[in-house]
Amino acid sequence: MTEKAPLFFTSARTFKFGYRNSVHSRLKKLLKKLRIGRAVRKNDIVPVKIHFGSYGSVRGIRPAYVEAVVNAVKMAGARPFVTDTVRIQGPEYLSIAKRNGYNEAAMGAPVLLADGIFGKDSVEVKAGRLLGSCTVASAIHDAASMVVLSHVKGHIQSGFGGAVKNLAMGGVTAAPRDGDWSKGRGKAHFLIGENPQWTGSPPCTLCGTCVEICPQDAVKIRRKKVIIDYDCWHCGRCISSCPEEALFVEKDEELFYEALAEQAVATLSTFKPDRVVYVNFMMDMQPECDCMEACDVPMIQDTGIVAGFDPVAVDKATLDIVAESPILKNSRADMLSKRYRGKDPLGSVHRKKSFRVLEHAEKLGIGTLKYEIEEIN
């Protein structure tokens, strides 16, 4: 019988207004209890993996919480740096990080791009039956230990973003040095369907949003038509950002869930067992990924922080806690009927099944869906 993964949780609520009762103080207590030093060893150079956000998406993890983690890593005798893989041009992405408060002055550790300024520094590693291989960011690949901090929120493809998705899409680079993006994180999207289809005009107003948002420069407007070319990697951003719903695609979601789990396995395969720690922040849980160009109001009441050494268990506990938390009025989740929202409000707003990625990840052997949780007060 599979053992239950031990996890720690602290609530987002504060009832007494002294520092000792603050979430920040309890996070420090939680990290002590977690004993990060079991994963992070003396003199390790440790990536503290976060998401830097975007110019318009500013609801990521508060820098003060990242600083608490950075200090815990330092206390273990290791040397942390805060990092993410490149999503847009490297220099611009570093400016976004700085603007969003992810800078050395605030967090006490340097901020670096895990896959280099061009987003190509990576090492190809074996993945599963769907992907074959994928390219893990070199600063993550070469590290002996890592701390993965995940801002929990919705995601257009996986339903929700947590630890497993952070390892997967966040650990794998967009394209390797030879420029073949089909070896990178885009392959998981690519597998699931065809290029988005343009429904034609009207309803398309030729506003150009899809052109601006495409990370691959794959959308063009020519002779009053939207054309999507062969560089499209099926990420779905143009579809979800189109104000007129003028784009659509047929997809096989199940393939994406499995491919995402394979990417997580590939990233983790570069570490020895139990050398990666996961901390999920169930705060500001808005509907979309932090890489989108805007963020909406949170959908679920801030709930707290859950942490452990098992990414599947940490994510499963996250989804279970979220399922029991109040839905916020006038949010995107509030617009769904109670029945449709079910046990997966984050996934339901995207009509996705958040638990499926975790079930695939468990099958692939990187964790368990069973856990026991200790609350830190």
Q: Which amino acid is at 217?
A: D
Work out whether 233 is an interface residue with ligand SF4 (CB under 6 A).
yes
Rounded Cα–Cα distance for residues 153 and 289 (Å): 7
φ/ψ of 6, rounded to 5, equals -80, 130
Beta strand extents in the chain (DSSP E only): 5-11, 45-49, 79-84, 111-113, 122-126, 133-137, 146-151, 153-155, 159-161, 197-198, 219-222, 225-228, 247-248, 276-282, 304-308, 371-375
Work out whether 235 is an interface residue with ligand SF4 (CB under 6 A).
yes
Stretch that binds ligand SF4, among 37-45, 170-178, 242-250, 258-266 (CB under 6 A): 242-250
Rounded Cα–Cα distance for residues 361 and 368 (Å): 8
For ligand SF4, which is the closer residue by CB, 102 or 233? 233
Work out whether 242 is an interface residue with ligand SF4 (CB under 6 A).
yes
Work out whether 247 is an interface residue with ligand SF4 (CB under 6 A).
yes
Work out whether 156 is an interface residue with ligand SF4 (CB under 6 A).
no
Least distance in Å: CB of 260 to ligand SF4? Answer: 16
Q: Per-residue string for binding with ligand SF4, 29-48, x by CB under 6 A?
A: --------------------
Stretch that binds ligand SF4, among 162-170, 228-236, 282-290, 344-352 (CB under 6 A): 228-236
Least distance in Å: CB of 252 to ligand SF4? Answer: 15
Tokens of 20: 């000792």
For ligand SF4, which is the closer residue by CB, 22 or 197? 197
Work out whether 246 is an interface residue with ligand SF4 (CB under 6 A).
yes
Region for 284 from its dihedrals, namely left if φ exceeds 0, alpha if ψ lies in -120 to 50, beta otherwise: left
- Look at the block and give the residue holding tokens 């050494």: 309
Least distance in Å: CB of 345 to ligand SF4? Answer: 25
Work out whether 192 is an interface residue with ligand SF4 (CB under 6 A).
no
Least distance in Å: CB of 155 to ligand SF4? Answer: 14
Q: Which residues contact 187 (CB under 8 A, 6 or more apart)?
A: 131, 134, 181, 233, 259
Least distance in Å: CB of 213 to ligand SF4? Answer: 6
Strand 111-113 with 79-84, pairing:
parallel
Work out whether 88 is an interface residue with ligand SF4 (CB under 6 A).
no
Indicate which single residue of 109, 218, 282, 283 sits in contact with ligand SF4 (rule: CB under 6 A). Answer: 218
Q: Which amino acid is at 315?
A: D
Tokens of 234: 């099926």
Indicate which single residue of 60, 119, 154, 196 sits in contact with ligand SF4 (rule: CB under 6 A). Answer: 196
Stretch that binds ligand SF4, among 137-145, 209-217, 311-319, 349-357 (CB under 6 A): 209-217
Q: Is the dihedral of CA 264, 266, 269, 271 positive or negative?
A: negative
**Binding residues vs ligand SF4 (CB under 6 A):** 196, 198, 204-210, 213-214, 216, 218-219, 226, 228, 232-238, 242-244, 246-247
